[in-house]
Structure formats: structure tokens, C-alpha cells
Amino acid sequence: MELVEAIILSVLAASTPLLIAATGELVTERSGVLNLGVEGMMIVGAACGFAGAWLTGSIFIGALFGIAAGTLMSLIFALMALGLAVNQVATGLALTILGVGLSGLIGAGFVGERITPAAHLHIPGVTDIPLFGRVLFGEDGFVYVSIALVIGVSWFLYRTRAGLILRACGDNHASAHALGYPVLRIRTFAVMFGGACAGLAGAYLPLAYTPFFIPGMTAGRGWIALALVVFSSWRPGRLVVGAYLFGAVTILQLHAQGWGVGIPSQFMSALPYLATVVVLVLISRARSGGSTAPAALGTVFVPDR
Amino acid sequence: MQAHLRMLDSTPDGLNSGKSPLLRTIGLTKRYGDFLANDCIDIDIRPGEIHAVLGENGAGKSTLVKAIYGLVQPSAGEIHWQGQPIVLSGPADARKRGIGMVFQHFSLFDNLTVAENVALGLDGKESFKDISARLAQVSKTYGLPLDPRREVWQLSVGERQRIEIVRALMQDPKFLILDEPTAVLTPQEADQLFIVLERLKAEGRAILYISHKLDEVKRLCDTATILRGGRKVETCNPRRETAASLARMMVGGEIREVNAASSRKTTVPRLVVNDLSLEPGEAHGVRLDHISFELRGGEILGIAGVAGNGQDELFAALSGERLSKHPDTVVIEGIAAGRLSITQRRRLGAAFVPEERLGHGTAPRMKLSENALLTGHAASGMVRRGFINSAAALKTVDLATETFDVRKAKRDPEAASLSGGNLQKFIVGREILRNPAVLVVSQPTWGVDAGAAAVIRQALLDLAAAGAAVLVTSQDLDELAEIADRIAVMFHGRLSAPLAASEATREKLGLLMGGSSLEPQEAVHAVGA
């Protein structure tokens, strides 16, 4: 029983950064902008988040540093891709390359340092309930934030007028402009939200997952988050399924390797990717009619005034 | 100069000339770089009047209404609303004052529902529930039925326009702008629209009606302002003008008449389509459903229909952009071509002119000679042992320029630098110069000025007279009546039996375009298939 609980806990921990980053990117893409720089924004968020926590001794301030760093990175993207109407794919890739280099520079002085990782919730009595007590009431703050984030984004997109306008920009920017909505401003906010989430997701890694910083510690999680957005067909609900599934298979295959299952380890390491793709493809195939991607995704918009 | 001033001062002697104008523009000018899209335009619009703005493509109609709706800021001049000069900060500002607009290319969101689309066009803090209720009420009052929960991509073009109109009406506008509203409607749908517009007029609202369909304007409008090359030419009462006099004012000269050869001999079948069915290639596409027809040399077959009923899919299937399941569904010059590539079909003597000029018909950033090569490489002397013969390509450009009166700044400019009409003349010319046995052409004169349209139609007639088989898809019924020998109608991916042009009245075609069948024999066709 303890093993099951431990596995669930580690699954949640592995899934949370994916979920946070993907939720931010989902909002960005729903507004019609394809920011491929998630990995770059995450890694800078990781370096700055660790730096903030190490300097101040506060995980909370570290997280704020991560958010600020991710947002700043996304502003570079917004300036290029929205302000100057540069190709979004090229800009996003460049942002990732920039982020990897920048994080190495920022984090160079912190390699080898350790901090006290984010504290886990503990409600006496409740958290100690066997089996689900720790899973539900004993997580670190990031996990609760990530869940609140998905619910909040879902509510925003489908229940608020502002969310409707954001989706409208992603569907047809020319129409949104013709109706008088400030397409570029809305998209800039969406890109910044995506950056903030990526920064927070990056900061999660050194602040809660492993209490130290190493260069390149995001290890491709930004790309996984991007893929999750696509395979979830831009729906927050499916994003949760995808992120947790990916986290679960990642952890389970590690345990399976530990138990000595006679399958090559390379295949086991590839399993999370395969499983996520298969399941999400099956989900989106079941959907009938209508296109899934925001119709204006990745297209450049220059309003004529 | 004197005459010009007199023209500007002359007021139309319509019914409403006594009322003070609701909206007035004084010297409205919009400049894009060196280009004057609108040059000192004065226009008065009175309550309870339907005011037409007439002009060819590029005359400045759309720029004018965009300025009035706050979408572009005028470079000079004033807009007066109810007697007061105003500066519009944007469309929301215009809507607040009571100016509504129905766009030509609809400003709708395909993946959102009708109610969501309407909500996006309203500025208030109304709850979604109230919007839905009011939507139901307005659509009932004006006889414009709509289901608020459906997503837009599922709707027909006519229904989409209804959303736009209902959305505009929900703001209770004093002044409504309609930008070419009937361009995409069947004649019957257009009639329905006119009833709504008459009713709005009776309610005392002013309507600005942009069109280049002269019959409509004569029938519906009280006043017409004619624009040419960004300037106002005249304001008149269209009911007192003839269609010919209005056309003269629009074009600034006589339009060449198109001469159909009196008797064309039809020869062998050159393009035969046998029971062609094809699943849609993309989301929201149309499924081609058992299409059959036979087209002989010397004949022009017109395909009418509201856009989005499978015309694009049929073009793709004929041109080889999409392959059919069976080779004998498309037969070109007696050879089963359903599984052949575009190039192989060209070698059989077929030529294709798609609807979209830039990006489909030509590569916009490539020179004309390179674009000539792109369709001509298979069946002309432009390529020798894999190397491009630039001189031959240039000669094609020169020949097309001369034969079809293509006006351009340089000998061999980029395709994108040509105006729509000139580029279309080049594209059609490029294909005709290859002497095709079969020409499939989609929307040959869409968005082309009247002069170029006449040249293109004449070229198609001449080609047929020379013995080629020509298939023309068009939404312009007048065009089809002018050049086609037989006309068939596409609806929901099905093609009606062709009618002889002499029997194809607007009413019959309109019914077919709306999905009604004329004869019960269609059932026989289905059984046979």
C-alpha cells in the first residue's frame, strides 16, 4: 500500500510541471499564437527560480522569480512575433536556444548549491489518513496551484466574455479586428500568461522536484508540454489526462525497470511518449466534426489602420 | 472644373432630400503611402433611405465604409453624425453611436456557435442568457430564423449572413452598412434580404448598400453615389438611370460587348465525368456525390451554385490535385485520367485555372515567366533536358501580354505586383496559349474589373469556337448566361442535370442553387448510379 501511495505521489510530482507549462501554452495557442519557446522559458524560469530562492531563502519568492523570468522571456517573443510580425516558428525556436544559453549563464554560480525544497501541506489527522491522505492533503503548493490553474483557465475560456474574445482571436483574427477587438494586445497578454506559466513550471523543478539546479534540467519537458497541447486538441480537460498519463507511465516504467521486466530499457524509456500519443489520438479521433486547432494558429497578423 | 463643382453640389432628387442628413462625409480622404484609396469624398445619407455606393473593384468603396465604421482612420476630411463632427476611435465607438455593419467577407468565427458570434458583436454587459433570448426575438421579428447553438461552420452562406444581419440589428442601429450582401446569395435569398431591407427603411433607418449589381441597385436604392478610382463621380437617383448609364459612370467609358460566335459546332466528347464521388479532403469540406457530365469540343458548360457547395472539390478532382478512386471517373480526350497527376493531365491537353489567383493560380513572389513555366513545363518548349529555356518562357509572357492586353509596369514583374484583373488575364492567357483541348476554369472574373472581365469572357468563347471544351464554374449567373451553352448547378456536392442556357432562367437556377429539384427524374439518375 505504501508503494502505491509513493508511486502516486511521484506521478503527481512528475506531471505537475508539464501540466503548468502546457496550460499556459494552451492559452497562448488559443489566442492564435504558436510559441515554440516553452522549453527556453522553462529553463530560464528554473535558473531564476533557484536563484531567487537561494538568495532570499523563500520558495515563494523563488517561484515569483521564475514567473517573472518566464514572462520577460515571453515578452521578447511577443515583441518579435507580434510587434514586428516575424515568423512565429523561427522566433519560438530562437527563444529556446536563447533560454538554454541564458539559463546556463544565470545558473552557473548556483550549480552545486542546495536549498530546502518546498514544504508539503500537513493537516494533522487529515493528511495522515492512510492511502489517500498524503495524496490529497499532503502535496506541495505547486500541485494545488497547477490544479487551480487548469480549472481557472477552463472557466475563463468557456465561461467568461474575455475568454470568448480570446478564442475568437485564435479562430479568425481578421474578423476579431473588424469587430474592433485589439487582437495584438489580447495576444500579447496570452503570450505573457504562457510565459508566466512556463516560468513557474521551470521553477518547480529546482524548488520542489530536486532541491538543486543543474544546467539543462528541464530535459525536454517544454517540448512535451507543447505536444500535450496539440494532442489534447486544445482542451484543458484533456490536458490533465495527458499530463498525468505521461507522468504515470514515466514513473511506472522506472519501477518496472527496477523490478527487472525483460524488456529493453530503451523501449521502456520511450513508453511515456508512445502511450500519451496513442491515448490522446484515440480521444481526439472519437470527436465528431469541427476542426480542433485554432484556425488562426501561427499566422501573422498585421492590422491595417 | 466648373462642371466638377456642379456635380458635387447637385443633390439627388429622391424622396428624402428634404430631411437633414444622418451621416455626412466632407472631403473624406484615405491615403496608403502614395496611393489615394479615397480622394475627397462627399456623401450625404438621410434617414429612411437606401443609399447605394457603386463602383468597380478598387474604386474605394470598401475603404470608404471602413472609415465610416471606424476601422480605418481617414487621412483628411470630416465625418458628421447627426450634424456633429465626430472622430471614431474604432468599430465599438461606431456601434455605440448607432452605426452597424454587415461585412462582405463575413466577420464570423467558424468554430464558435451562433450565439457566441452574436455576443462578440455586442458591447454591452448583457449576460449570455439575455443575448440568446434577444437573438431569438430579433430573428423572429425580422423573419431571419437562426439556431443559436449551432457552430458557424455547419451553416450555409445565407445563414451566415443572417447571423451578421441579426447581430447588427440587435444593436438597434440608426444606420446600417451592407458590403456586397448579395454576392454570395441565391436570387431567392437575395429577394428575402430585400424584404428585410425595405422593412428597415420603413422603420426610418438609413442603409448604405455597396454593390456592383446594377439591377439590384435600380430596384432597391433611392440614391446612388458612384465612385471611380477613389473619387466620387456622381450622385444620382438610380431609378432614373439605365443600367448602361450607371455602368458608363462606373467604368468611365463603354464596356466592350462580348460576341458569342453565332453557331459553334460541337464535336467529340473531350471531358467526361462518370459517377465521380470523393470524400472531403479537409475539415468542413464538401463530399462530391455521384457527379456525371459530358462536355464536347466547341461547348461551354457553366456550373452555377453558391460558394462552398463542392465547386472547389470538383476543381481539385478534375485538375488532379486530388486523385479519384477509379481511373475512369474522369476521362480526358478519351483517356481515363482519374488516377493521373496534374502534369499527366496537362499532357493530355487539359488546362486548369483555379479560383484563387495568388497562391493557387500563381506563386505571388515569382516572376510571370516563372509562373508561365510552372504550368507550361509539361507540354511546351520551356524546358529542355531538365534545363529552363528562359527565352521561351519570356516569349510566352510577351505573347500573353499582347494577346490579352495585360498591363504591367515591367516586362517580367512579380505576379503579386499585378492588379487582380491583369493577373487574371495573364493566367487565363497563359493557359489558352497552350491551345488546350479542355479548359477547366473556376470563377474566371471574380473581383476583376468590367473591362478585363469582357476580355476574359471573349477569350473563353473564342477558345470554344476553336474546338476546345470549356468548363466554367461561376457564382455570377449573368456571366454564365452570357457565355455558357448549358448550365448545371452544384448543391451539397451534387450536380444537377445541365439546362440549356436558353431555358436556364434565374428562377430555375435559383431553385437549384437552394437545393430544390426541378424534375422528379433525379430519382432515376440515383438508381442508375
- The domains located in chain B, with CATH, are 2-98+173-251 (3.40.50.300), 269-362+436-528 (3.40.50.300)
Rounded to whole angstroms, the Cα distance separating B84 from B379 reads 65
Whether residue A305 and residue B284 make contact (CB cut-off 8 A), yes or no, is no
Whether residue A289 and residue B92 make contact (CB cut-off 8 A), yes or no, is no
Over range B78-102, report the average pLDDT.
91
pLDDT tens-digit map of B198-207: 999 999 999 9
Coil vs helix vs strand at B412? coil
For every residue of chain A, which 3-state class applies, written as one string?
Answer: CHHHHHHHHHHHHHHHHHHHHHHHHHHHHHCCCCCCCHHHHHHHHHHHHHHHHHHHCCHHHHHHHHHHHHHHHHHHHHHHHHHCCCCHHHHHHHHHHHHHHHHHHHHHHHCCCCCCCCCECCCCCCCCCCCCHHHHHCCEHHHHHHHHHHHHHHHHHHHCHHHHHHHHHHHCHHHHHHCCCCHHHHHHHHHHHHHHHHHHHHHHHHHHHCCCCCCCCCCCHHHHHHHHHHHCCCCHHHHHHHHHHHHHHHHHHHHHHHHCCCCCHHHHHHHHHHHHHHHHHHHHHHCCCCCCCCCCCCCCCCCCC
More confident position, B239 or A125: B239
Tally of domains in chain A: 1
Provide the domain limits for residue A155: 2-111+126-219
Over range A141-166, report the average pLDDT.
94
Burial class (CB in 10 A: 0-12, 13-18, 19+), B350: buried
Contacts of A175 in chain B (CB under 8 A): 106-109
ipTM of this predicted structure = 0.80
Banded model confidence at residue B256, pLDDT cuts 50, 70, 90: low
pLDDT tens-digit map of A31-42: 999 999 999 999
More confident position, B52 or B127: B52
Long-range contacts of A269-275 (CB under 8 A, 24+ apart): A272/A246, A272/A247, A273/A224, A273/A246, A275/A245, A275/A246, A275/A249
Query: How large is the greatest C-alpha to C-alpha distance in chain A, in angstroms?
Result: 66
Over range B427-444, report the average pLDDT.
92
Whether residue B91 and residue A178 make contact (CB cut-off 8 A), yes or no, is yes
pLDDT tens-digit map of B367-379: 999 999 988 887 6
Smallest CA–CA distance, residue A164 to chain B, in Å, is 7
Say what percent of chain B tops pLDDT 90: 40
Whether residue B283 and residue A291 make contact (CB cut-off 8 A), yes or no, is yes
Q: What one-character DSSP code corresponds to residue B71?
A: S
Rounded to whole angstroms, the Cα distance separating B474 from A217 reads 59
Q: Which residues contact residue B270 at a Cβ distance below 8 angstroms, ignoring those fewer than 6 apart?
A: B295, B296, B297, B332, B333, B349, B437, B438, B468, B469
The answer, for B10 touching chain A at a CB cutoff of 8 Å, is no
Residue A271 inside a domain? The answer is: no
Rounded to whole angstroms, the Cα distance separating B480 from B445 reads 11
Q: Which residue has the cell 495557442?
A: A29
Q: Of the candidates B264, B341, B333, B329, which has an alpha carbon nearest to the alpha carbon of residue B301? A: B264
pLDDT for the residue B431: 92
Contacts of B150 in chain A (CB under 8 A): none
Rounded to whole angstroms, the Cα distance separating A262 from A254 reads 13
Whether residue B107 and residue A175 make contact (CB cut-off 8 A), yes or no, is yes
Whether residue A161 and residue B71 make contact (CB cut-off 8 A), yes or no, is no
Residue A195 inside a domain? The answer is: yes
Residue A156 inside a domain? The answer is: yes
Residue A253 inside a domain? The answer is: no
Rounded to whole angstroms, the Cα distance separating B143 from B162 reads 10
Residue A99 inside a domain? The answer is: yes
Say what percent of chain B tops pLDDT 70: 91
Rounded to whole angstroms, the Cα distance separating B162 from B137 reads 14
pLDDT for the residue A189: 97
More confident position, B473 or A274: B473
More confident position, B9 or B37: B37
pLDDT for the residue B35: 79
Banded model confidence at residue B261, pLDDT cuts 50, 70, 90: low
Residue B57 has pLDDT above 80, yes or no: no
Over range B6-33, report the average pLDDT.
68
Mean pLDDT rounded to a whole number for chain B: 85
Banded model confidence at residue B6, pLDDT cuts 50, 70, 90: very low
The answer, for B112 touching chain A at a CB cutoff of 8 Å, is yes
Rounded to whole angstroms, the Cα distance separating B331 from B296 reads 12
Smallest CA–CA distance, residue B38 to chain A, in Å, is 14
Whether residue B106 and residue A304 make contact (CB cut-off 8 A), yes or no, is no
pLDDT for the residue B107: 80
- The 10 Å Cβ neighbour count of residue B124 is 11
Residue A148 inside a domain? The answer is: yes
Side-chain-side CA neighbours of residue A148 (13 Å): 5
pLDDT tens-digit map of B277-336: 998 877 677 899 999 999 999 999 999 988 778 898 999 999 999 999 999 999 999 999
Q: What cell was used for B195?
A: 424584404
Q: Are A31 and A190 in contact (CB under 8 A)?
A: yes
More confident position, A161 or A281: A161
Q: Which H or E element spans position B139?
A: helix B128-141
pLDDT tens-digit map of B131-140: 888 888 888 8
More confident position, A127 or A32: A32
Which amino acid makes up residue B129?
K
Q: What cell was used for B90?
A: 474604432
Say what percent of chain A tops pLDDT 90: 55
Residue A256 inside a domain? The answer is: no
The answer, for A289 touching chain B at a CB cutoff of 8 Å, is yes
Handedness of CA A72, A74, A77, A78 (dihedral sign): negative
Long-range contacts of B415-420 (CB under 8 A, 24+ apart): B415/B358, B415/B362, B415/B363, B415/B364, B415/B365, B415/B366, B415/B367, B415/B368, B415/B371, B416/B358, B416/B364, B416/B365, B418/B368, B419/B58, B420/B57, B420/B58, B420/B357, B420/B447, B420/B448, B420/B449
Banded model confidence at residue B4, pLDDT cuts 50, 70, 90: very low
Quote the Cα angle for A246-A251-A254, to 5°: 125
Quote the Cα angle for B17-B18-B22, to 5°: 75
Residue B455 has pLDDT above 90, yes or no: no
The answer, for B90 touching chain A at a CB cutoff of 8 Å, is yes
- Phi, psi for residue B177 in degrees, rounded to 5: -105, 130
Smallest CA–CA distance, residue A146 to chain B, in Å, is 27
CA A150 to chain centre: 11
Whether residue B72 and residue A171 make contact (CB cut-off 8 A), yes or no, is no
pLDDT for the residue A3: 79
The answer, for B404 touching chain A at a CB cutoff of 8 Å, is no
Q: Which residues contact residue B81 at a Cβ distance below 8 angstroms, ignoring those fewer than 6 apart?
A: B22, B23, B97, B99
Smallest CA–CA distance, residue A283 to chain B, in Å, is 17
More confident position, A97 or B386: A97
Over range B225-236, report the average pLDDT.
89
pLDDT for the residue A150: 96
Query: How large is the greatest C-alpha to C-alpha distance in chain B, in angstroms?
Result: 76
Q: Which residues contact residue B279 at a Cβ distance below 8 angstroms, ignoring those fewer than 6 apart?
A: B287
pLDDT for the residue B7: 40
Rounded to whole angstroms, the Cα distance separating A221 from A99 reads 14
Rounded to whole angstroms, the Cα distance separating A294 from A289 reads 14
Banded model confidence at residue A54, pLDDT cuts 50, 70, 90: very high
Q: Which H or E element spans position B432?
A: helix B420-432
Contacts of B283 in chain A (CB under 8 A): 290-291
CA B346 to chain centre: 28
pLDDT tens-digit map of A57-91: 999 999 999 999 999 999 999 999 999 999 999 99
Residue A189 inside a domain? The answer is: yes
